[in-house]
Amino acid sequence: MTGGDLGYHLHQKGRFPKREVQYYAARIMLGLQALHDKKYVYRDLKPENCLLAEDGRVKITDLGLATRITPTLHGAAGTRGYWAPEMLRRDKKGKRKPYGHTVDWFSFGCCVAEFISGSNPFRSEAALNFGLERGKQTKEKAIDCATLEMDPILKPEKFEPDAADLCRRLLDKNEMTRLGTQGCE
């Protein structure tokens, strides 16, 4: 995988042109679906974990946090700011709630938004300020708060209407209505 990772390329370019976003997103989407078809959840999708081959193909790497989906799968895993809200939610007793493959579609939405705009909506200054304004005292807690409560900011100068709609649907806080719940079709 001599082409480097998408995080590096994104940092170099600032953001990707539309055709690159579409290509990278399509390749990643198919990779996620292949994992889900085998009953695995990836849990660590971010641009740095997407490598480019010499021929430009994207491959998902670093499967150390991937695991079989079980009815009791719970706990935050991966990189903060790419975590889905359901990874952070707790029941009335304070225990983390179980989740499934929908967490990967939220992370995918974070990546697509980052490819388009150059910034992850939940690792941004706006997300940090959102959490801090709600009394969160650390950067980590502020990002978690934004992930749970903040609507992503998708500026029209960077997001065409269809792209903004796609990202909003992938970043739906409700895993039951999130785009991807029924797979990548």
127-132: list long-range contacts, CB under 8 Å, 24+ apart: 127/81
Residue 117: the pLDDT is 97
pLDDT band for position 1 (cuts 50, 70, 90): low
Token pair, residue 100, equals: 């499934």
Residue 134: the pLDDT is 92
Please give the mean pLDDT across all residues of the chain: 94
- The stretch 84-97 carries a mean pLDDT of 92
pLDDT band for position 169 (cuts 50, 70, 90): very high
Residue 17 has pLDDT above 70, yes or no: yes
Residue 127: the pLDDT is 94
Residue 55: the pLDDT is 85
Residue 14: the pLDDT is 96
The per-residue pLDDT for range 22-72, each reduced to its tens digit, is 999 999 999 999 999 999 999 999 999 999 988 889 999 999 999 999 999
147-150: list long-range contacts, CB under 8 Å, 24+ apart: 147/81, 147/83, 147/84, 147/85, 147/88, 147/122, 148/85, 148/88, 148/89, 148/173, 150/121, 150/122, 150/126
Distance CA 73, CA 76 (A): 10
Share above pLDDT 90 across residues of the chain, in percent, rounded to a whole number: 90
Residue 93 has pLDDT above 80, yes or no: yes
pTM for the model stands at 0.95
Residue 181 has pLDDT above 80, yes or no: yes
The per-residue pLDDT for range 131-140, each reduced to its tens digit, is 999 999 999 9
Residues 170 and 178: beta-carbon distance below 8 Å? yes
Residues with active-site annotation: 44
Residue 58: the pLDDT is 93
Share above pLDDT 70 across residues of the chain, in percent, rounded to a whole number: 99
